Amino acid sequence: MSFKDKVIYQAYTKSFNDTDGNGLGDLKGVTEKLPYLEKVGIDMVWLNPFYPSPQNDNGHHLADYTATYPTYGTMEDLEEMIAEGEKHGIQFMLDLVLNHTSTDHEWFQKALAGDKKYQDYYILREAPEGQELPTNWESKFGGSAWNQFGDTNKYYLCLYDKTQADLNWRNPEVREEAAKVVRFWMDKGVKGFRFDVINVIGKDEELVNSTGNIEQEKRLYTDKPIVHDYLQELNRNSFGQDPEIITVGEMSSTTIESSIGYSHPDNDELTMVFSFHHLKVDYEDGEKWSKTDFDFLELKKIMNDWQIGLGENGGWNALFWNNHDQPRVVNRFGDAENYREKSATNQAHILHFMQGTPYIYMGEEIGMTDPGFTEMDQYVDIESINAYKNLEDKGLPHDEIMDILASKSRDNSRIPIQWNAEAHAGFTDGEPWLQVADNYPEINVEKELESGEIFPYYQKLIQLRKEREVIRTGRYVPMFLEHEQVWAYRRIAEDEEIITFANFYGEPLSLDISQEVEEGHWTYLFGNYGNKDFNKVLELEPYEAISFERKK
């Protein structure tokens, strides 16, 4: 099976399934749910970090790359999970954070203690004369990107939290350590790697001030050409040795051009890329911590550009609406209140008929929603807590800030998955580390399996992808680009073609497709309102999505 045939499921380990009652999900919990995951129909599970970490950023800064954190389980639990996975046809993708380590990592601690070898593992600089800090760069989680290195006159770079110290990839020893880490997990039978913010590993030797404009600043350390060299080297020295392995790079503020480079098979870098531009269409003037309507035309344009940009140039997209850093897309671009099921299936339909590898974020397959937290003490996420302080400093009233957090916080998707209607949604017998959503008695896996419409919809979408070459590899050609309510496109293969129409809103509409689609032998393939005949004028219900096919 090629990576083009696969569908990947993301489990936020900490919130997936707790088997020992400590309120945190664990590896045994993943093993326990393998039959469920098999039922969804997915091929691989991407597990968010379960390694030793002080957890300031929930595990996205490792204190040890080749161990498990005891609260998540032991190495034996992991081996068992992989072995059991095999029986269910499920492989595993690990989340590796190679741009930075935790400041608790032995390397950083040795560096602090004065060990020169390990000091060269990090990016340490003095402030030039006349400046307080080495550069004026901002950390992505707020504040300066530099923090004092012990009691020296040096500073270490931390593009994220101050407990996440950026590694010095210019040092060949660091690159060899990274390859060693990947090989360690390959030996355990891991068949996939998701590389956290991997396109910011290539910092220049000389770091310079930005103009203060955040977009210009990001260009100073993002997508530098040398990232390609580092990825090729890592590929050669580790995962490239096993053709079965799938890799995906999380690409922060990347471009289509760079992403073709990262994912083109001839370059021997990665299998595919995550990009995020489509999830910024509800930012006001590029500011995440704002509340504004999403821009539908922009959303379509971005997805189309990436479909065509990568599709026509040998790159490969990772397709996704949700992940652990994003609020639920049903709330964002759908209508979670009045049309939860239909918006969930509509969004799934649009994504799963595209070219690329679909990722399903846990709970998406049952239409989980944002929990609508109203109190600050319900939030755990460091980025959200920092955002509160920043917005408060800017003078925003408390209620307004809470409103913004409720729509943008990463905790929206990090809440435990809702398994059933029992206490804490069946996630744990203890106290969950993050509160579950109040709606779990109505929205949960058990209920969805009995009578829901979203779960079977996902199953069918996955099945269709497996059956039809055109869904996997057909050309993507958009239609109705300027239509303010409809998302439509063709997928074209040599002997088969599929056309998809989706009403992205809650008002019904009639769509005259005669100018765009020639008549002839189109038959109904799949849709969230059931079978309909092909017609020159399509009547689309609220959040309806429908596809027709024809053989050539």
* 142's tokens: 């707020």
Nearest to 125 by CA among 145, 139, 109: 145
Site for ligand GLC, residues 4 to 63, rule: CB under 6 A: 57, 60
In the residue annotation, 250 being an active-site residue is answered as yes
Report if residue 196 touches ligand GLC, rule: CB under 6 A: yes
Exactly one of 43, 57, 250, 370 is catalytic; name it.
250
Q: How many residues contact ligand GLC, by CB under 6 A?
A: 9
Residue with tokens 């019904």: 508
Name the CA radius of gyration of the chain, rounded: 23
Site string for ligand GLC, 154-193 (x = CB under 6 A): ------x---------------------------------
Residue 327: CB minimum distance to ligand GLC, A: 13
Among 97, 167, 380, 546, binds ligand GLC (CB under 6 A): 97
Smallest gap from residue 178 Cβ to ligand GLC (A): 15
Question: 89 near 72, Cβ under 8 Å?
Answer: no
CB of 513 to ligand GLC, least distance (A): 39
Least Å distance between CB 224 and ligand GLC?
Answer: 18
* Identity of the residue, 272 or 538, whose beta carbon is nearer to ligand GLC in the bound complex: 272
Say if CB 28 and CB 176 are below 8 A apart: no
In angstroms, what is the minimal distance from the CB of 407 to ligand GLC?
A: 18
- Select the residue interacting with ligand GLC from 5, 298, 325, 341 (CB under 6 A): 325
Q: Is 82 in the site for ligand GLC (CB under 6 A)?
A: no
3-state helix, strand and coil shares in percent for the chain, rounded to the nearest 5: 35, 15, 45
Q: Is residue 156 within 8 Å of 146, Cβ to Cβ? A: yes
Cβ neighbourhood burial of 67 (10 Å; 0-12, 13-18, 19+): middle
Enumerate residues 326-345 that contact ligand GLC by CB under 6 A.
none
Nearest-CB residue to ligand GLC? 60
Instruction: Work out how close the CB of 186 gets to ligand GLC at its nearest, in angstroms, rounded to a whole number.
Output: 22
Q: What does each C-alpha distance from 425 to 20, 365, 430 come to in angstroms?
A: 15, 16, 11
Single out the residue of 244, 154, 140, 269 nearest to residue 192, CA to CA. Answer: 244
Q: Which of 26, 43, 196, 217 is catalytic?
A: 196
User: Using the rule CB under 6 A, is 381 a contact of ligand GLC?
Assistant: no
Task: Indicate if 446 belongs to the active site.
Answer: no
Please check whether residue 191 is in contact with residue 154, taking contact to mean a CB–CB distance below 8 angstroms: no
Contact residue for ligand GLC among 197, 251, 405, 415 (CB under 6 A): 197
Question: Cβ contacts of residue 424 below 8 Å, gap of 6+?
Answer: 416, 431, 432, 436
Distance CA 107, CA 101 (A): 9
Positions 215 through 254 that interact with ligand GLC (CB under 6 A): 250
Q: Hey, which residues are catalytic here?
A: 196, 250
Which positions touch ligand GLC (CB under 6 A)? 57, 60, 97, 160, 196-197, 250, 324-325
